[in-house]
Structure 1
Amino acid sequence: MLWWCEDLNLPVFEPKDVAGRCERFVEVKITQPADPRPAFPADIDITRGAIADELGDWELAEALVPMDEVVLLNKIPGYADQADEVIVRGRLIGHRFYDVFEGRWRFRPLYEGVATILHERRGYWAVVDMAELPQGYDIHTDKIVEGRLPEERYRHVAVSTADGKTHGVAKLFRGRRLHVVKSWRAKPPLLPGRPSTLAEAAELNREHIERRAQEAVEFIKAVAEKYKKPVVVSYSGGKDSLVALDLTARSGLKFYVYFNDTGLEPPETYENLKAVEERYGVEVIVGAAGQRFWEAMEKFGPPARDYRWCCKVIKLGPTTEALKSRFPQGYISVVGQRGAESFVRAKTPRVSPSKWVAGSVVAAPLQEWTALEVWLYIFLHKLPYNRAYERGFDRLGCVVCPANEMAELALVKEAYPEIYGKMEVALRRWHTEEEVKWGLWRWRGKIPGDVARWVKREEGAPLPVRITAKGQSLELEIDAEPNAETMRELLKMVGRPEGNLLRTKKGLVEIRGAGGRWFIRAPDGKTALDVAALVVRSAICGDCDLCVHWCPTGALRRTGPGRSFKVDEGRCIGCLLCSSACPAAQYLVYRNET
């Protein structure tokens, strides 16, 4: 739960901690998972611009979102792209949301925001001769007593009943009708607030933040004591991993820092890494992907939210290479993961075994922290945070990640035109102008409903491997020709090749084909898929070497770049863990809809 100290105009986590300094509190009501973050000046500029464009009044925008006060943003669902609740003086004044069709941020005023618009008679507003404002109701012009309406359709308008007891927000429709989107019992307008800063908020919440920090430090020490392995902080350049790093330093333990250089990081991240090295004087181990992303895209095509081959190629591959040899008995990976970031992370235990390096564990000291707690810790201890946040980003990482919303990609295009331009050129080799424009490349399978509705399309772009299942047989159409020698080597994992046949424990498998078209008939569907995965692996390889690193017996080794492997039949136990690790096998065969 979050509170707002009205005396100091600052957010408060525990009112009892600030007794004597604050007397008047209001509960900050925000949407779950309630992960508010501070708005930097760039965020405020974006929000002001959205308000001014939507409501036709720049002075109103400046009044609603002050630059010299602490303003919070809280990410919310329900919109086709990125959207945030805007919290000013502890009150929700509205939603800012990115309109993909118009390619810009917009604003929907709510509650105290609507009350302020009506009180000041600024922006677009209307008082109507009605006793209530039913949601979905169309208000015709003969019901409008007074107001100022926009000329452009679909803009938002603050609405009040004539008695002032009910407020709402409506959209202007054809015929100058006001379509009621939402209504509620009228709230008072925003009261003036004193100037406030994040540094003041951090100091006010010092006791709460330090309790959080001390618990996290003890957690890190307990994990280190239990597992007795080297401690490695996984540092991304983001705010969460920065705090995880500082907490680990406070534990007094010897530790290393690992940085995964995907080759797609913003320039500020590399600058921040230098600042972190200087502050902590700790050894930084770097796992660099180099040009692997661009090289792998030539084979896999662009990544997508449901086709994340890139994570294995430019993250897990370099990470395994850098750390497995350095810490062969495993290590403790301290990460900045927080449960509020996603449903998946919310369900992830605070301590869990590593999926990628045997004998390693992952520890998340910030699992229960909010973004605001993280930021206040940073300001309290004056940590060197990544200045890319000051551009308006709320998360950092690969700047062309398919998980990005269109709002984020628009910001990337503006902030880092060189890398965005390179991505656009690559995308156009695989996707149509429409798919690039609307960001449809971010899905390969089903396009989600909210996006599908406005693009009037349900399916994403095809994969570089198409599979047709016919009983126990599979037909493969691959955009690359398999390497015959590598295919023969890999097939040894499941049987003995005999011409077009493969003798396995489950019976004979027939494999016929040439170029990119192949036919597989097996005794059962699973065997057919396993063989198909090996055929595809001999055609498409991302050079991540996860297959080699995952082999429990050392039976698989690389003999050259790309699709060049040898299998030691004496060591191979046929477990196919290598296929489980391989992005080509996983995304193009096992997860490929047939």
Structure 2
Amino acid sequence: MREPAVKKTLYWCRECNVPLIGKTCRCGAAGVEIPIQKPYDLRPALTHDHDLLRSLLLERYGTDHLPQVVLFNKSSGVDRTEVIIANGVEFGRLSYDPAEHAYTLDLSQDALRFLAPFITKGIVDITAEAEEQGFGNRRLGGKKVMVKTGISEGPVVVRMKDLLGVGQLHDGGVRVRQIGKVEPESPPDPSWGEVVRVNVPLLKNLERTAIRFIRQHMNDRPKVNVSFSGGKDSTVSLELARRAGVTDVFYVDTGVEFPETVEFVRQCGIQVVIHGKDFWKEVEKNGLPRKDNRWCCERLKLQPVKEYLSGRGPCVTVQGNRWYESFSRSTLPGVIENPFNPLQLNISPIRNWRALEVFLYLWWRKVPYNPLYDMGYERVGCYLCPAMLESEAARTREIHPDLAGYWEAYLVAWAKKRGLSRRYIDLGLWRWENPPPKMCELAGRCGVSVPKKRQKS
């Protein structure tokens, strides 16, 4: 399969107001290009996230006017950071602050074209102050205008005469990011069902190519199976593999899975469930699992699978790995011998799909997926995974306070033994043996000491 032409670009049909997975809409209109950011993995804002955006809009700006079709483009940050794409423009930015345990929604200038008529709060009129402070007709972008207002600090809409803009209110002043004439627009508000409909021809091509790829390699070894995790990517791979004629499927239960995942696996009819090592015994022997020391993957997943397959002989395993999941997988070949288990030849039929294509395919084929995605999770792994964002950990505390509380108590006891503060755990710093610079900076701002880096032997 060739690398997709849309890898670094999203196409959007202005006529239908829908995202496209190709360059042309089913209506015949050419898509408008929207540059996207690394790692280029666009995904839909599902139920909880859409509700979150609406609540943030309502709280800050007095309106929950948001189109049904909203995309997230994951970006770099201290914790969860998403570029929001809606109505064919970069609509704003959603970010989670682990220090404050709160989300912030920053609107873009383009978002005002769709929101301005509905905004009733969070508006700072700087007309008089700008003139008093000598700005006059000078460009205000990047300038700070001192103001008196009862609005709390954070992102605001800025008004100056007949101009509207966006800015940041902080320390008694507004830093104007951008301002200008705003012409209100009222585009159509299609559903995700309509997005699926206009993209069906390309979804058919993706399916056809993936099935052909599986059939091309499923006989490279005597047996073939599917590795199913309960996540969206392996759900699509399972559907494609079944259409290609593969029937054997296995799932690894690490013992620290979300209850929703365990139930979803049961509903999918997965007959072979492999159980990993006891996590609580392993953590006592190996220490905390970390992002830079994920021994848990080997002990709870890879080793149990290796033992299960050792008595079955060489096999081809269909898996759901994708290029866009992480930088480490961005060069993933379609066919590769598993370095941990040479008996296993791994094939990845959806390696060039983004999360957008994954969800559109699931909706098109009416394939059920793990409910955790609609509950606000980007990824669904173990409920205490170190790769989880602090925003997802906060969501886990809401949904499963018992599971989150048990792990949190363990972490607090672990920190106490090492002379680390409770705040060290609250900020999520336990996730690294050697926290990266951005996390050390966060710790410094919060007055939390970080142990000296461990030297690798």
Shorter-chain TM-score category? 0.7 to 0.9
Q: Does the aligned pair in 1 maintain the 2:25–2:31 contact within 8 Å?
A: no
Q: Deviations over 1:214-240 (max 9, x none)?
A: 111111111224x23311211111111
Aligned partner letter, 2:436 = P
Q: Which amino acid aligns with 1:428?
A: V
Specify the SS of the correspondent of 1:112: coil
Aligned sequence identity (%)? 29
Q: Which residue of 2 aligns with 1:288?
A: 275
Q: For residues 334 and 450 of structure 2, what CA distance do their matches in structure 1 show?
A: 35
Aligned to 1:210: 204
Structure 1 pair 17–115 and aligned structure 2 pair: CA distance change class (3 A): closer
Alignment of 1:70-85 (within 5 A): 70-77=69-76, 79-85=77-83
Q: Which has the higher contact order (CA 8 A, sep 6+)?
A: 2
Specify the code of the residue in structure 2 equivalent to 1:203: R
Structure 1: how far apart are the matches of 2:147 and 2:283?
Answer: 55
CA contact (8 A) 2:440 2:450 kept: no
The amino acid of 1:9's aligned partner reads N
Instruction: Normalising by structure 1, report the TM-score.
Output: 0.68
Give 1:30 deviation, angstroms.
Answer: 2.9
CA-CA distance at 1:264 after TM superposition:
1.6
AA in 1 matched with 2:443: V
Partners of 1:244 and 1:335 within 8 A in 2? yes
| Matched residue, 1:200 | 194
TM-score (norm 2): 0.87
User: 2:406 is matched with which residue?
Assistant: 422
Going from structure 1 to structure 2, the CA distance change for 1:116 and 1:125 (only over 3 Å counts) comes to: farther
Distance 2:282 2:24 in 1: 55
1:91 aligned to 2:89? yes
Partner of 1:5: 13
Residue of structure 2 equivalent to 1:440: 429
Verify the 8 A CA contact 1:118 1:158 in the aligned structure 2: no
2:456 corresponds to which letter in structure 1?
A: E
Q: State the match for 1:237 in structure 2.
A: 230
Structure 2: how far apart are the matches of 1:113 and 1:123? 15
Q: Which residue of 2 aligns with 1:397?
A: 381
CA–CA distance in 1 between the matches of 2:109 and 2:225? 47
Distance 1:348 1:159, change over 3 A: same
Partner amino acid, structure 1, of 2:21: F
RMSD between aligned residues: 2.5
Residue 508 of structure 1 is matched in structure 2 by none
Q: Please list, as runs of the form range in 1=range in 2, the aligned pairs for 1:328-477 lying within 5 A after superposition.
A: 328=313, 330-431=314-415, 432-445=421-434, 447-456=435-444
How far apart are the structure 2 equivalents of 1:156 and 1:293? 43
Q: Equivalent residues in 2 for 1:38-53 (5 A)? A: 38-53=44-59
**Aligned AA (1:51):** L
* 1:445-524 equivalences in 2 (<5 Å): 445=434, 447-456=435-444
Q: Report the Cα offset of residue 170 of structure 1.
A: 2.3
CA distance in 1, matches of 2:241, 2:96: 37
Code of the aligned partner of 1:250: R
1:382 match: secondary structure: coil
Q: Which residue of 2 aligns with 1:314?
A: 300
Alpha-carbon separation, structure 2, partners of 1:229 and 1:179: 65
Q: How far does residue 117 in structure 1 lie from its aligned partner after superposition?
A: 5.0
The yes-or-no answer on 1:112 pairing with 2:106 is no
Q: Counterpart of 1:450 in structure 2: which amino acid?
A: K
AA aligned opposite 2:250: Y
Query: Post-superposition shift, 1:103?
Result: 0.6
SS at structure 2 position matched to 1:593: coil
Distance 1:294 1:203 in 2: 47
Counterpart-to-counterpart distance in 2, 1:17 and 1:171: 37
- Corresponding position: 1:141 with 2:138: no
CA distance in structure 2 between the aligned counterparts of 1:150 and 1:93, rounded to whole angstroms: 26
**Alpha-carbon shift at residue 17 of structure 1 (Å):** 5.3
Q: Confirm whether residue 593 of structure 1 aligns to residue 435 of structure 2.
A: no
Q: Which amino acid aligns with 2:289?
A: P
Measured after TM superposition, the shift of residue 249 of structure 1 is 1.1
**Equivalents in 2 of 1:352, 1:455: separation in Å?**
40
Counterpart CA distance in 1 for 2:372 and 2:250 is 20
In structure 1, the residue matched to 2:418 is: none
Q: Is the 8 A contact 1:111 1:186 kept in 2?
A: no
Q: How many equivalent residue pairs?
A: 433
Residue 251 of structure 1 corresponds to 244
Post-superposition Cα deviations, 1:151-203, rounded to whole Å, max 9, x if no partner, equal: 323x1122356563xx65322122x21124x33776644x3243422222212
Say if 1:163 and 1:52 are closer, same or farther in 2 by CA, change over 3 A.
Answer: closer
Distance 1:368 1:319, change over 3 A: same
Q: Distance in 2 between matches of 1:170 and 1:286?
A: 53
Q: Helix, strand or coil: the match of 1:389?
A: coil
Could you list the per-position Cα deviations for residues 441-471 of structure 1 after superposition, in whole angstroms to 9, with x for gaps in the alignment? 11112x22222112117975589xx8xxxxx
Aligned residue in 1 for 2:156: 157
Q: Is contact 2:61-2:119 (8 Å) kept?
A: no
Deviations, residues 253-297 of structure 1 (Å, cap 9, x unaligned): x441110111121112122212221xxxxx63222126x111112
1:106-147 per-position Cα deviation (integer Å, ceiling 9, x unaligned)? 111113224445555533234554431343x322239xxxxx
- CA positional deviation for 1:338: 0.8
1:433–1:385 CA distance, 2 compared to 1 (3 A): same
Task: Say whether residues 1:178 and 2:174 are aligned partners.
Answer: yes
Q: Secondary structure at the match of 1:52?
A: helix
**Structure 2 gap ranges (5+):** 1-8, 416-420
